[in-house]
Amino acid sequence: MDGIEAVRRIRAMETENGILPSKGTKIIMQTTIDDPVKIEQSFRASCDAYLHKPISATSLLDELRKMALIP
């Protein structure tokens, strides 16, 4: 299973269990693939962020702050 399918399954489980989209697991996709189609598919599957490897600490922390997971 690839990452996009994993996101789809996680979101399906959340829906089945009555978890609202705003309360679901925060998912940051990470990949070496800089493919606009894959990026779009990831967001359509409802990932919250998409980072390209190598991932810097700054970019990861920025995404975590945008999701209000850290101050």
User: Could you tell me the residue ranges of all domains in the chain?
Assistant: 3-66
Residue-wise pLDDT tens digits, 16-31:
999 998 899 999 999 8
pLDDT band at 34 (very low <50, low <70, confident <90, very high): confident
The predicted pLDDT at position 7 comes to 97
Euclidean distance between CA atoms 70 and 28, whole angstroms? 14
What pTM did the predictor assign? 0.87
- Please report, as a single letter, which amino acid is at residue 12: A
- Average pLDDT rounded to a whole number, residues 6-11: 97
Mean pLDDT, rounded, of the chain: 94
φ, ψ of residue 29 in degrees (nearest 5) = -80, 140
Contact call for residues 59 and 28 (beta carbons, < 8 A): no
